[in-house]
Amino acid sequence: MNRRDFLKKSAALATGGFVLSNRTLQVVVGVKQPNVLFVLADQWRDCSFSHGDNRDAIVQTPSLDSLAERGVRWSRCYSAHPLCTPNRAAIITGRLPHETGMIHNSLMLPPTERCIAHPFAEAGYRTHYIGKWHMDGEAKPGFVPPGWRRRGFETFEGFNRGHFYYDSPTFTNDGVPMSSAGRYSPGQYEPTFQTDLAIDFIRQNKNNPFFCFVAWGPPHTPYNPPAEFDTYDPGDVQFRPNVVNGNRTSLAKYFGLCTSLDHEFGRLAATLKELGLDDNTLVVFTSDHGDGHQSHGIAHKNEPEEESCRIPLIMRLPGVLKSGAVVDNLISSIDLMPTILSICGLKEAGTCTGRDKAAAAMPAKSLANESIYAQKAGDWRSVIMGPHKLVAESIDGVQTPTKLFNLADDPYEMNNLANRAEHAALQAELVAELDSWKQKTDDPFPATPTPAEKMYDA
C-alpha cells in the first residue's frame, strides 16, 4: 500500500466511511514504506570487486563486499546497451534503447516516457537525484531544469554530462553552480562531494520516505584516483586470460577509482545505520556498463563481451530480501524498474518491457530463469539464455550470428562455438529466441533504430 492509499483509508476510517477488520487495521497501521538508495557507478565492470566470480585479483572493495554479504548479489546482471545514455535510459524506463530511441550518447529521453521516480513521487516519496544524468541532450555539463526533464525527481543536484572529478560542475536545484554558491571547492574529489550531498539529503528526510539516486562518474576515464587511493602497484596487476596488449598502469588506477567509490559507499551505509534507517532502506548498487581494459582487445565498452556488458547488481532490504545470497537468475538493466517497484510494494504502470524479478531475491520464493537481450544501435544484438550467449551482428545489412559461448564452461569467452556443425541445434534455438525478442519489442535490427531527438520543446 502506498502513502496516498494509506491516507485515504485512514481518513475514511476516522470519518466512519467504512469499517476495517482487525487484520486489515493491523496492516494499515503497520505500514512503513521502505526508503530507496540507488547508487549508480559509471563503467564499473562486474569482475572488479574483491568478491564475486572470476574476479580481478588485487582490487579491494570491503564496503560493497559487506553489502553483498548482508544482501543479495545478482551474479548474472547485464547492461541492456553497454553505453552511458542508452543504459541509463533503460534503467529508469524499464525499456530497451531501441524502444525509447536512446540508442547512443547525448540524446534526450522523449517526454512521454514514464520513469522510475514517477511512481515513487506519486506515492509521497521525496525523490532526489545527485550526479551525472546524461539523458538531457548534448549540453555539457548542462543544467537539468525542473519539470518533465527531471523525470519524476522533485529535486536535482547534478549536471547532464561529462567527467570532472576535481572540478565538479554540479548545479544547485535552482541552477546555480555549486562552486559559485560556495558549496563546492575546486580540487575536491567529486564523488566525495556528491556523497556529502546524499548524506545531507538523507539526514533532512530521515522521517520521510525517500528515493535518493546517486550517480558517480568514476571509475570511467580519466583514470585519476585521489592520492590516498592511488595505491595499487602496476607490477601486482594480473591480467585476465583474454587480455590483448593490456596496460597495467591504467588498470591499477582504475582499481584505485573503484576502491575510492567503495569508501564513499561505506559512508552512505554508515549514515543509514547511524540514523536507524538501515533496516528500512532498500539499497541498490549497480553500474551502467563495464570496461574492457583490453579483454579481447576491447579498450572500454559498447561491445557484447562480459567485461563490457556484465555489470554488478547488489540489493539489500532486511526482512524482505534474502541475506547473504547469490542469485544466478539472469537480470537486465530493464528489469530494475519493475523489480524495485515490486520490492517497495508499488505498481508498475504497464510501460516496462523489463520483468519483475523480485521473487528470485526473496526468501522461500523462486523464479524461473528467463532469457535477456542486449544491443548496440544497428551493430549487434545478443541473447543470453541459460549458460549460453549468442551474438548476431549486422554484416552488409544482414543479421549474422558471429559468436556463441557457453559461459559456464568458458567464462572468459575464449572458445567461440558459433557456426560449428556440432552446435547447430543450439545456435538455431538461440537465434529463434533472439528473433522472438525482436518481434515482441518491434526491434528493426539489422536496420538501425530511429534515434531520439537531441532536444525537445519544453
For 93-131, give the DSSP string. Answer: HSS-HHHHT--STT-B--TT---THHHHHHTT-EEEEEE
Mean pLDDT over 70-96 rounds to 98
Q: Over the chain, what is the mean pLDDT?
A: 93
Q: What is the C-alpha separation between 85 and 137, in angstroms, rounded?
A: 9
DSSP state of 108: B
Whether residue 219 has a cis bond before it, omega within 30° of 0: yes
For residue 78, the one-letter residue type is: Y
Which three cell numbers mark 110?
Answer: 522523449
- Per the rule left: phi > 0, alpha: psi between -120 and 50, beta: everything else, 442 is left
As a whole number of angstroms, the distance between CA 175 and CA 291 comes to 32
pLDDT band at 52 (very low <50, low <70, confident <90, very high): very high
Secondary structure string (H, E, C) spanning 263-285:
HHHHHHHHHHHHCCCHHHEEEEE
Residue type, 76: R
Q: Find out whether 371 and 384 touch, Cβ atoms under 8 Å.
A: yes
CA torsion, points 90, 293, 328, 355, in degrees to nearest 10?
A: 10
pLDDT per position as a tens digit, 208-258 = 999 999 999 999 999 999 999 999 999 999 999 999 999 999 999 999 999
> Where do we find the cell 517497484?
341
C-alpha span between 451 and 72 (Å, rounded): 35
| % the chain with pLDDT above 90 | 92
177: left (phi over 0), alpha (psi -120 to 50) or beta: beta
Q: Is the pLDDT of residue 20 over 50?
A: no
Q: What does the pLDDT read at residue 457? A: 85
β strands within 43-140, DSSP E: 72-74, 77-78, 126-132
Q: How many angstroms from the chain centroid is the CA of residue 162?
A: 18
* 261-283 mean pLDDT: 98
**pTM for this model (two decimals):** 0.93
How far apart, in Å, are the Cα atoms of 264 and each of 149, 211, 212, 311? 28, 18, 15, 19
The pLDDT of residue 205 is above 60: yes
Q: Do 115 and 93 form a contact (C-beta atoms < 8 A)?
A: yes
Pick from 320, 321, 297: which is nearest to 72 by CA? 321
The full length of the chain comes to 458
